Each structure stands twice: as structure tokens, then as C-alpha cells.
């Protein structure tokens, strides 16, 4: 009898905890996968401009996460370099970094393209993707 009472109490508490967690408002997350976010090139500038544009929306507050393979630095150092290189100032508390320890898995050298037909299809898919998203570039241009 005691075990049944104890078991039902534990189950009830678990259900209450799950319901409370589901009802808690969650902050929407905007995540960027950029394994080389600390390099300082043109692609990195686009990344940081997009993050600044997302954070500049006064009516909406994003939780920003950047997945980076730059394991030799911390988030504060990356954001300091972003300010020095691009003049884009972001606060450390606004950006969460998740550091990837196996960046070599996404390196192009790991997967050389040898088949010219496959290379052409990859180039065509990349061109179509760039064309499709060009209409969104003015949002980023307004913040860079």
C-alpha cells in the first residue's frame, strides 16, 4: 500500500513538472552553423550582420546561438574581433557559442569533388539557392 502511494505521488509530481515546463514561455532560438566564424572574411561579415539585424528587432527578442569550430578562442574574443574587423558591436550575453570539436568533418578538403557531373550539379544547386534568397538581402543591407 505504501509503495503504491509513493509511486503515484512520484508520477503525479513528474506530470506536474512536465506541464509546468510546457507552459513556461520559451524564447525562440535563431541558430547559425558557421564553423569558421572567426576567420574575418566576407561570409563572416554576412553572418554578423544577420545577427545584428535579428537583435535589432525591437518587437522581438531572439536567443542567438552560433555553432563554431574555432575551439582555440572563446566567445568574448570572437566578438571583440568582430568589432575590430567589421565595426559590428555585439554583447557577449546576446550570443551563445557552441564550439564544435570535429570541424574537419565539414572541411571541403575532407570531401574532394572528383566527378565533373556531380560538381556541376552542386554548382547549379548553389546558384539556385543564392538566387532564391537574394530577395532577403535588403534586410541585412539595412544593418551593415
Instruction: Give 90's Cβ-side CA count (13 Å radius).
Output: 33
Report how far residue 42's alpha carbon sits from residue 64's, in angstroms, rounded to the nearest whole number: 20
Q: What are the residues whose beta carbons fall under 8 Å from the beta carbon of 122, sequence distance 6 or more? A: 113
Over range 51-64, report the average pLDDT: 87
> Which has the closest alpha carbon to 67: 90, 36, 92, 41?
36
Residue 66, H or E segment: strand 63-68
88 located within any domain: yes
Q: How many domains does the chain have?
A: 1
* Grid cell of 70 as nine digits: 574555432
Report how far residue 118's alpha carbon sits from residue 139's, in angstroms, rounded to the nearest whole number: 33
What whole-number percentage of the chain has pLDDT above 90?
A: 30
pLDDT(118) > 70: no
15 located within any domain: no
2 located within any domain: no
Residue range(s) defining the domain that contains residue 66: 21-141
pLDDT(79) > 70: yes
133 located within any domain: yes
Q: What angle do CA 43, 44, 47 make, to 5 degrees?
A: 95
What whole-number percentage of the chain has pLDDT above 70?
A: 62
Over range 56-62, report the average pLDDT: 83
Most confident of 13-27, 67-81, 107-121: 67-81
pLDDT at 40: 79
pTM over 0.75: no
DSSP string, 74-108: -HHHHHHHHHHHH-----GGGEEEEE-S-GGGG-G
Return the bridge partners of 33, or none: 67
16 located within any domain: no
Residue 132 confidence class, pLDDT cut points 50, 70, 90: very low
pLDDT at 1: 55
Amino acid at each position: 500500500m505504501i509503495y503504491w502511494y509513493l509511486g503515484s505521488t512520484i508520477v503525479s509530481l513528474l506530470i506536474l513538472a512536465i506541464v509546468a515546463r510546457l507552459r513556461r514561455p520559451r524564447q525562440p532560438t535563431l541558430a547559425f552553423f558557421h564553423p569558421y566564424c572567426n576567420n574575418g572574411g566576407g561570409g563572416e561579415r554576412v553572418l554578423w550582420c544577420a545577427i545584428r539585424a535579428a537583435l535589432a528587432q525591437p518587437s522581438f527578442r531572439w536567443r542567438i546561438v552560433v555553432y563554431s569550430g574555432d575551439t582555440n578562442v572563446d566567445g568574448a574574443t570572437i566578438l571583440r574581433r568582430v568589432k575590430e574587423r567589421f565595426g559590428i558591436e555585439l554583447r557577449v550575453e546576446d550570443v551563445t557559442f557552441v564550439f564544435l570539436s570535429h570541424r574537419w568533418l565539414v572541411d571541403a578538403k575532407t570531401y574532394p569533388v572528383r566527378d565533373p557531373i556531380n560538381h556541376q550539379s552542386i554548382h547549379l544547386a548553389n546558384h539556385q539557392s543564392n538566387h532564391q534568397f537574394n530577395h532577403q538581402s535588403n534586410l541585412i543591407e539595412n544593418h551593415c
